Structure 1
Amino acid sequence: MQAPSSQILSFSPVPRDPGFGVYVHWPFCAAKCPYCDFNSHVRHKPVDQDRYASAFERELREAARRSSGETVTSIFLGGGTPSLMAPATVGRILDAVAANWTVAEGAEITLEANPSSVEAERFRGYRAAGVNRVSLGVQALNDPDLRRLGRLHDVEQALGAIRLARETFPRLSFDLIYARPDQTVEAWEAELSQAIDLAADHLSLYQLTIEQGTPFHALYKAGKLIVPDGETSALLYESTQRLTAERGLPAYEISNHAVPGAESRHNLTYWRYGLYAGVGPGAHGRLMGERGRHAIANETLPETWLKMVEAWDWGAVEDEPLTAEEQADELLLMGLRLSEGIDLSRWRKLAGRDIDRESEADLRSHGMIERLGPDRIRATPAGMLVLDAVVADLA
């Protein structure tokens, strides 16, 4: 796929059209982080990248056949650790997307990378392959917390990766985790200020969650991992929103902050309830079929997925049409994460009814949601803190 111009992109208002995305899941990591419940796997023998690239090519072709001739507005290579892929593997995947769909001019093409697997030559190779945005898994800006989080890089490597990414790619985002054990609001604000100084145009800031089945969950249940209580977590969230807004990277989604115009196009496709193809082990997709929108989920084990695709060109273990009510619920769940909220006329068209006026009035009276016009609602900052409950009440 031909690389777009290396000139820094100018930011323009992001259109409300959700677009059509392609998500490619590379499931392999050098090590499994103790807080992670994503579909990621450690293999102690080299992965056969040529074989996996061929499988991605086959599944991309089949996904395009099952879609409705959409134009791709974003591609996201996630994981796992996609920066463990050779640039040639990334190039084959991007070429396969372009061979099977029309790719919009200026499409956003993101690759996730870990600082421990960043090399200048490899970054230049990804850029030449067509990647124009990189998302770095930094997670913390102090070495003790990086070790506690099980990360393989230190702060020096993280800063070097950020610097190299800014030199190589038109756009950069990096992730931090907060509400870490023993973290105070003052310490987080100092770290966040440093991150904003380093950021190009986008930050993803996630509260640490203790996920079932992870090593952190076992430590937490045993009383060996103490995380901030609910009140402190709320203060950490509120300080995050305030500081990023003051510094020009306001929240456009619960955990994502950007210079206006630099929002992640790909993630907006999810949150605006657009269609997207998901390929690779454990990937999910939403495609339009003969019976309407389908929810698709792939086999999670890489080796099993590989054999399925080699045999049938398709690694899905679930492919179910969604009812109109299910689609309306998904629209609500995804759209209320955004500061722009949701279009109620679109919700009504899916649900076949109006939003529950009594529930809406109750939530508005308690300051959980607000109207942005006759047909648009959004969660307030207070509502964002208890968003699952807000969605349940409205749905």
Structure 2
Amino acid sequence: MIPIKPVTAIKATAPVKRDLSDVPQDVTSQYLAAGSLNLTQLPPLSLYVHFPWCVRKCPYCDFNSHEVRGSFDETGYLNALRADLEAALPLIWGRKIYTIFIGGGTPSLMSAAGLDRLLSDVRTLLPLDGAAEITMEANPGTFEAEKFRSYRQSGINRLSVGIQSFNSRHLSALGRIHDGDEARRAVEIAQTNFDNFNLDLMFALPGQTLDEVRQDVETAIALAPPHLSLYHLTLEPNTYFAKYPPVIPDDDLSAEMQDLIHGKMAAAGYGNYEVSAYAQVKRESRHNLNYWNFGDYLGIGAGAHSKISFPHRVIRQARYKQPQTYMEAVAQGNAVQESYEIEAADMGFEFMLNSLRLQQGFKVALFQERTGLLLNTIEKELREAEQKGLLYRDHELITPTSLGKRFLNDLQQIFLKAE
């Protein structure tokens, strides 16, 4: 059996970038008026809103989340989000928002009134598509039936519930604030109030057996969620688990777990459309698909990242991470800590890093449409990937082979340009 490497983002040493953080946002679009790329049309645009607080930091979590110490300044943070969005508007004038994702942290710590105010501010400032997908992450330990009814009434039409496991022993090992019964109760509340929701599960957990993975997956399938995300636990740098690593299943057992998951999900009618994502027919996450198809997204909130395209440039931005620092920076007129152009030499890698996660691959024309470059700029890398049996392509489609899907990190690495 071929061992499966956990799929993680490849962190490359960045080339020298043109810093835009000191350029006033109201003139940045004029500053980006000329360059070497040529995008004939701009990609779909999503909005990401980051809520940075949680009840307790999980030992495996490397996201920008901060434990609540008694209380948090909800009103001050919502004020900052609105001001941040207003300041960013010149970068996206006239562009419609097709999906919104409110992530964290634990956004379900937000009050019903706070969430309603947030979505009201977004609608006031941005043109939303009439069928916009609006997702909110939620922790089962924070579920209150009445509050989630209010979330739905305010406009949330998709929920993403961080179950991780239905096994209380594993939940305790992961540092989660809920147990198995609360996980099931959270799904019941989600089913009652939302016809579109996702459940997050993890596998290859400390001390987990193959049979326990089977029980988790069968329990999830029995609840019939429209969408399931199944992630391999990875020991990320700068986490408690990285410093004090638990004993987790080896490569062979992890491979068996993943094979079991694939089989169970396929038999239940779920399509594996992305590395870790399974969906019922036409229930794929539109927000995540925009990421994997190298679409654009404006990120607001502490630590939020953005990718924004212009006819001749593509820029990335990152907001200040610490909540208080972020709010102070917004008050001073610029929440953006870092802003830079993606160099043309890196564009192919950035596109392939995302699009190769799609199990069915991508249409050849999408590369030029989203990068502004001709496909022959990565011809050498494409040929190498084909020769290694990791990639298949014809005149219409480029897709990872079965081997490429199993060794996705190696496939993506081929497209990483040397310094």
CA contact (8 A) 1:344 1:376 kept: yes
- Structure 1 runs (4+) deviating above 6 angstroms are none
TM-score (norm 2): 0.85
363 and 281 in structure 1: CA distance in 2 versus 1, 3 angstrom threshold:
same
Q: For 1:34, what is the secondary structure of its paired residue?
A: coil
Matches within 5 A, 1:121-200: 121-200=146-225
Q: Cα distance, 1:362 vs. partner?
A: 4.9
In the alignment, the residues of structure 2 paired with residue 132 and residue 322 of structure 1 have an alpha-carbon distance, to the nearest angstrom, of 33
Deviation of 1:260 after TM superposition, in Å, equals 2.0
CA contact (8 A) 1:189 1:239 kept: yes
Distance 1:378 1:117 in 2: 40
Q: Distance in 1 between matches of 2:159 and 2:125?
A: 23
Q: CA offsets, 1:167-222, max 9 Å, x none?
A: 101211110110112223332123211111113200011000001121111222xx
Q: Distance in 2 between matches of 1:227 and 1:244?
A: 23
Counterpart Cα distance in 2 of 1:194 and 1:300: 37
- 1:275-286 → structure 2 map (5 Å cutoff): 275-286=296-307
Give the corresponding residue for 1:19.
44
* Counterpart in the other structure of 1:108: 133
SS of structure 2 residue aligned to 1:287: strand
Whether 1:328 aligns to 2:353 is: no
One-letter identity of the residue aligned with 2:181: E
**From 276, 286, 289, the counterpart of 1:255:** 276
Bigger relative contact order, structure 1 or 2 (CA pairs below 8 A, ≥6 apart): 2
Cα gap change, 1:380 to 1:39, in 2 (>3 Å): same
**Structure 1 stretches of 5 or more lacking a match?**
1-16
The residue that corresponds to 1:40 in the other structure is 65
Name the SS of the counterpart of 1:296 in structure 2.
strand
| Matching residue within 244, 249, 256 for 1:228 | 249
Alpha-carbon distance, 1:159 to partner: 0.5
Distance in 2 between residues matched to 1:290 and 1:370, nearest whole Å? 30
Which letter maps to 2:124?
A
Partner of 1:202: 227
Which of 337, 351, 369 is the equivalent residue of 2:391? Answer: 369
Instruction: Give the drift of 1:18.
Output: 6.0
Give the secondary-structure state (helix, strand or coil) at the position aligned to 1:354: helix
After superposition, what is the alpha-carbon deviation per residue over 1:250-300, rounded to whole angstroms, capped at 9, x for unaligned? Answer: 211101110121011111111111111100000001123585211011110
**How big is the shift at 1:350?**
3.4
Q: CA deviation at 1:352?
A: 3.7
Q: Could you report, residue by residue, the CA deviation over 1:132-154 in whole angstroms, capped at 9, with x for unpaired residues?
A: 11100110111100100000101
Correspondence 1:391 to 2:416: no
CA distance in 1 between counterparts of 2:224 and 2:388 reads: 35
Q: Would the alpha carbon gap of residues 346 and 259 (structure 1) be closer, same or farther in structure 2, given more than 3 Å must change?
A: same
CA offset at residue 56 of structure 1? 0.7
Cα displacement string for residues 332-351 of structure 1 (whole angstroms, at most 9, x for unaligned residues): 10000012312333335634
Q: Distance in 2 between matches of 1:294 and 1:278?
A: 12
Checking the alignment, whether the CA contact within 8 Å between 1:252 and 1:340 is kept in structure 2 is: yes
Please state how far the C-alpha of 1:249 moved relative to its aligned partner. Answer: 1.1
Q: How many residues align?
A: 373
Deviation (angstroms), 1:49: 0.7
Rounded to whole Å, the distance in 1 between the matches of 2:254 and 2:90 is 46
User: Residue 357 of structure 2 is aligned with which of 334, 337, 349?
Assistant: 337
Among 379, 390, 401, the residue aligned to 1:380: 401
| Aligned AA (1:251) | N
Instruction: Give the Cα–Cα distance (whole angstroms) in 2 for the partners of residues 56 and 358 of structure 1.
Output: 44
More deviation in 316-325 or 283-292?
283-292
Partner Cα distance (2:43, 2:266) in 1? 24
Residues 134 and 156 of structure 1: CA distance in aligned 2, closer, same or farther (over 3 Å): same
Question: Among the aligned pairs, what percent are the same residue?
Answer: 35
Distance change >3 Å, CA 357–CA 21, structure 1 → 2: closer
CA RMSD of aligned residues (A): 1.9
Cα distance in 1 between the residues matched to 2:375 and 2:286? 30
SS of the residue aligned with 1:308?
Answer: helix
Contact 2:349-2:415 within 8 A present in 1 as well: no
Where in structure 2 are there 5+ consecutive unaligned residues?
1-41
